[in-house]
Every structure is written in C-alpha cells, then in structure tokens.
Amino acid sequence: MTCYLRLHEVAVAVHGDVAGSDWAQAHGRWLRADGVAGRDAVFDAMPVTLIELDDLAAADLTPFAGVVLSGRSDQELLAARGDDITAFLRRGRVIVYSGQLTGDWLPGVTPFERHEQAPAGAAELAEHPVLAGVDPADLGASFLYRDGWHRVPEGAEVLAHRSDGTPGAWVARAAGGTVLVHSGANLLANAVLDSSAARIVPQLLAWIGATAAR
C-alpha cells in the first residue's frame, strides 16, 4: 500500500475546485492500476496536478488550494524552498505532510521526536471530515508510526492518536494558512485499498479545498 512508487518524488498540488471529481471512477482505476505509469495516470482522474520536486521552485502554486508532501521527499530540497512554502501558506493555503520532518522548513512544525514505541493496535480517530466513515481496523500498520510523533502546537486539533494515546496526526494554523501533520505513511497511499480507508483520499482533497476557500 504505502510503497507507491514516487509519491516522495512529487508534490501533489490540489486544485481549488474538487466538487466535480468522480472518486468512484478514480478509485476503480487505482484498484486496477499497475506500475508507476499506471498509478501516475490515475491522478488524471483526480483534481490534482503532480509537480516534480525538482521543478517546485519554478512552479506557479497560485491556482492551487493545497499541496500534499511525502515524508520520503528530499527534505534538503524542501528546506531550500522554505520561503516559497511559507509564502504559499500566507495566501491562506494548506500543506499536508506525512512522514518524519527532519528540519524547520514547514512553519509551525518541529522535527519528528522519537519516543518509546507504542504497542500494536488500532489508531483512535477523532471526528473530522478527513476521517469520516473510516474504520480504524481498515488502516494499515504504517498509518501511524509507532516510534514517535511531531510535537502538537498550542491550539492544534488532534485527528488521530496512536494505540497508547499519544498524538499521531493534527491540524493547526501556521503562517496564515493551515498545516496537517501526519506521523505516518502518505495519506494518499490509502487510495489503493479496497476498504473504508480509501475514503481518506477524496475526503482529504475536499477538506483541503474547503479549508483554503475559508
């Protein structure tokens, strides 16, 4: 599920208007897709644009509501684009980051902190539009990392806890925009699951669009 390919090589830029997208069609394509090319092609049925990280500096992010980034991305490259990321947030946009942050390039977010490993068990999910209708039992073991988390800033909303009650995902305001920080595998990778976990993908995109619109 989480090994798709090259999510760590691209920034997934979310279009401002996601209301007209057909998730049922896109999900069917995800379930049938094979290989890098096949899965890249599935994004054509979704309200997103893939931007190669190497091209991020030259990309015009103005039309987009948000950007989804993977923890396996080149964080030195992202740090070099820190001013662009901050400027994007200042326009009221959204950054979603899954993984283990190693630097200070994402405003309001401190690096991943390793702690005593949480016991195995299902995550506890809060009521939130991104997670609506998701059965924690359908989430894979890498949905939340067991060996640590990102410190939750004051005023943040915690979306998911690890099995020992420690925070695993949260939303906060930062630099005039919104960040969703998720200490786990890329949320978009849930698209390949034939279970309630796949709901995360369209719901995440819809939430990004609605949040940026505010």
Contact 15, 51 (CB under 8 A): no
Which of 166, 149, 164 minimizes the C-alpha distance to 97?
Answer: 149
Bridge partner list, 50: 12
pLDDT value of position 61: 92
pLDDT value of position 5: 55
Task: Quick: pLDDT tens for 142-198.
Answer: 899 888 888 899 999 999 998 888 899 999 999 999 999 999 989 998 888 889 999
Residue ranges of the domains in the chain? 7-213
d(CA 122, CA 118): 11
Which of 8, 23, 11, 22 minimizes the C-alpha distance to 191?
Answer: 23
pTM (predicted TM-score): 0.92
CATH of domain 7-213: 3.40.50
d(CA 142, CA 60): 32
Q: Which amino acid is at 72?
A: R
Written as six digits, the tokens of 31 are: 């379930």
pLDDT value of position 2: 36
The ranges of the chain with pLDDT < 50 are 1-3
